[in-house]
Amino acid sequence: MTVEYVDAGEAIDQGMLSGKTGTAPAVVSGVTYERILEASARPENWITYYGAYNGQRYSPLDQINTENVKRIGPAWMFQAGTSGMIAGASTYAFEAAPIVVDGVMYLSGWDGWLWALDARTGQEFWRYKHAVPYDVSLCCGNVNRGVAVAKGKVFMVTGNAHLLALDATNGKKVWDRTYGDVRAGESATVAPLVVKNMVIVGSSGGEFGVRGHLDAFDVDSGEHVWRCYTVPKPGEPGSETWPSDGEAWARGGANCWVTGTFDPDTNLLYVGTGNPAPDFDGAVREGDNLFTDSIIAVDVDAGQIRWHYQCTPHDVWDYDSIGECILFESAGRKLLGHFDKNGYFFVVDRTNGQLVQITPFVDRIDWGAITRDGQVTPRRYPDKEGDPVHFWPGPAGAKEWTHAAYSPKTELFYVPVQDVGATATRRRREFKESIPYWGAGVQVDAEDMTGSISAFDASGEERWRWRNEVPMCASVLATGGDLVFAGEPTGEFNALDARTGELLWQFQCGSGHHSNPTTYMVEGRQYIAVPVGWGGWTEGFLPGMLGAGHGSALIVFALPE
């Protein structure tokens, strides 16, 4: 006898079985380019990746200050967790900067997750989950650095190199564009940046021998506006810095995997580019290898490079220059500050790329030396097959992608410093698309390391240093309350006096920090939002803590009500 099946019905969205409400207030409908330009004037919001186009990671909010910071505590938490089998399951971590618009927070996680939360209570409004292939190429973990918002939409990239535009009120997809080739080893981790009516993104994949690029899409329609390759083809400007024969340029790297900054006066987008490929085998790509390891200034309308400053010509240490390009003014000059993986703090004139000053910001640098006028002399590098070479800083750099901050109030830069070395042994390999293309075996030191939050003025003078036993691997936040917030790999979240470096307050968050804290205000109360969770490229920046537990919590602090 045949027994009829029980009708199980149609599968539903898993999020329907959560506590989410489903709809967020339509706060993003009023976010325009003009409003993003004035972000600093409305500090109750953290409206773009760095808080404002200038990349300062500074908020004028001062309700929490040096006098009362010792009284702040958790106001609410959001625990994301993870389930099932996901790409890079051992590497997932928060790396995002929470965006807040008029009381609504937009937070991206790993593996295609995006949440809209009530910024006052932590209540989940809606969620989006992109299906990311388990086998996607990820150099450095299943991570995402955040979202952009404008004109009613939230923009996010995915691990398989899509750019999504979602309705900011309900998380439903408005448009979806593929801008990278996963079969070539490309992926995407960057937080998009909205400029004018464009949303701008960069590609990841520098460890797989791809050709880096920036892309701009129309905010409304998703139409592709321009693509800017960061390695020139033969005959294009800069191509003379690559071998004239062969296809080294086609695998040259220079990926822009960290968000740029923008100056509406110069109409230039300032972006740091990534390492050349193969990372450590320079003999197969003789020359300076433009525009790898460079600060590039891109005409935001044309998508063309107007000037560049290369921090590490012919890099064989994996010294991406993807670090933030902080825009500031000094003595009437429009300047740009950049802390590079190679251990040097560069200040350039952002109108033309002319070097203003350069100074080391970490104690141990022996890969080479850069003089005050910018002359680079390599000293220790893996140039003989099978010969191990130790150098400082290691490939994660004296500062990884995590960001420094600049306070226009104190006129100081605050940089998270990683003082850790590594050994690379050159091992030449044939290029094959989608296979890692390093050209060396690499091991980062698990001992003899240290770190700090260091304060520098624009002339490169170190004004104070807060020392830590292990490298500092999370972005710094500076506020008008004369505070500098910085998380430790061992879980402590610290508030330092911005003028002295004195530790004023500390909270153990239960897992290490490797993301971007932000601050905002709702109904007159200032909050500090801290995505917590150890992960990402731990074996690169702090292998001595590779065994530390993961976490996946957003902790939001405030003064007692």
Partner 1 sequence: MTTAQERSDLLNKIGLDAQNKAALGAVLGTGRIGQATERADGRMTATIRIQPDEIAWDPSILVMPHGGDLELELLNDDLNTHCALLPSNGDRKFIWLVNHSRGRATLNLDGPGYYWFSSPTGNDEGRGLTGAIVVLGDVPPEARLDRPDQPRP
The residue (of 181 and 383) whose beta carbon lies closer to partner 1 is: 181
Out of 213, 338, 399, 403, the only residue in the binding site for partner 1 (CB under 8 A) is 213
**Are the CB atoms for 106 and 118 separated by under 8 Å?**
no
Per CB under 8 A, 448 contacts partner 1: no
Question: Scanning residues 152 to 171, which ones bind partner 1 (CB under 8 A)?
Answer: 160-162, 171
What SS3 string covers 262-306? EECCCCEEEEECCCECCCCCHHHHCCCCCCCCEEEEEECCCCEEE
Element (H, E) at 37: helix 33-37
Question: Scanning residues 351 to 380, which ones bind partner 1 (CB under 8 A)?
Answer: none
The Cα 440–Cα 551 span in angstroms is 31
DSSP string, 51-90: SSTT---EE---SS-TTTGGG-EEEEEEE----S--TTTT
**Are the CB atoms for 214 and 256 separated by under 8 Å?**
yes
Per CB under 8 A, 1 contacts partner 1: no
**Are the CB atoms for 91 and 141 separated by under 8 Å?**
yes
| Amino acid letter for position 214 | L
Site string (169-208) toward partner 1, x via CB under 8 A: --xxx--xxxxxxxxx-x----------------------
> Of the ranges 22-30, 46-54, 430-438, 498-506, which one interacts with partner 1 (CB under 8 A)?
430-438
Out of 37, 60, 63, 129, the only residue in the binding site for partner 1 (CB under 8 A) is 129
DSSP category for residue 167 = E
SS3 36: helix
Judged by CB under 8 A, the number of residues near partner 1 is: 57
The dihedral over CA atoms of 114, 120, 122, 128, expressed in degrees to the nearest 10, equals -20
Per CB under 8 A, 125 contacts partner 1: no
The residue (of 211 and 426) whose beta carbon lies closer to partner 1 is: 211
Per CB under 8 A, 524 contacts partner 1: no
Measured from the CB of residue 183, what is the shortest distance to partner 1 in angstroms?
A: 6
User: Which one of the listed residues 263, 288, 318, 320 is annotated catalytic?
Assistant: 318
Contacts of 136 (CB under 8 A, 6+ apart): 87, 159, 160, 182, 187
SS3 517: coil
Out of 49, 50, 92, 128, the only residue in the binding site for partner 1 (CB under 8 A) is 128
Per CB under 8 A, 7 contacts partner 1: yes
Please confirm, yes or no, whether 220 is among the known catalytic residues.
Answer: no
Per CB under 8 A, 6 contacts partner 1: yes
Per CB under 8 A, 211 contacts partner 1: yes
Catalytic residues: 318
- Applying CB under 8 A, the residues found at the interface with partner 1 are 3, 5-15, 17, 83-85, 127-131, 133-136, 160-162, 171-173, 176-184, 186, 209-211, 213, 224, 229, 233, 247, 250-251, 430-435
